[in-house]
């Protein structure tokens, strides 16, 4: 398989994930407001606050993933997709198949995890 074929597969994979995120986000559950409903007991209020916190974290994660996908699609267009942004080495095809929106090779990603 040539490089263009791989890029088309990665692009299709990225676009499919992007569509999935848009579809999932459109059908989000609406949770009770933080603090619960008026007249609810302390347990219901605590549960509502926990659900609101979880929803906020999930929303942030979806937003970061959407942004990473957009950047990956831009890198395909620019011609530097599959090149590690940190070291400049090629990102393995196995890593790109697993995480097509990645911008770091496995070694640089592991180093980034160690630093945090």
Neighbouring-strand partners of residue 90: 83
pLDDT in tens, 86-111: 999 999 999 999 999 999 999 999 99
pLDDT at 33: 53
What are the sequence ranges of the domains in the chain? 3-115
What is the tens place of the pLDDT at every residue in 63-86?
Answer: 999 999 999 999 999 999 999 999
CATH number of 3-115: 1.20.120.910
Classify residue 106 as exposed, middle or buried by CB count within 10 Å of its CB (0-12, 13-18, 19+): middle
- Tens digit of pLDDT for each residue in 29-51? 444 454 555 666 888 888 989 99
Tokens 């933080």: give the residue. 34
Query: Per-residue pLDDT for 23 more than 80?
Result: yes
CA distance 36 to 47: 8
């Amino acid at each position: 398989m040539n490089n263009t074929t791989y890029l088309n597969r990665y692009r299709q994979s990225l676009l499919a994930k992007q569509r999935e995120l848009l579809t999932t986000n459109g059908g989000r559950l609406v949770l009770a407001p933080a603090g619960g409903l008026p007249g609810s007991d302390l347990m219901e209020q605590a549960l509502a606050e926990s659900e609101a916190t979880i929803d906020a974290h999930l929303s942030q994660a979806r937003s970061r993933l959407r942004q990473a996908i957009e950047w990956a699609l831009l890198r395909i267009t620019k011609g530097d997709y599959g090149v590690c942004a940190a070291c400049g080495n090629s990102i393995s095809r196995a890593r790109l198949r697993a995480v097509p929106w990645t911008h770091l090779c496995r070694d640089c990603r592991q180093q980034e995890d160690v630093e945090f």
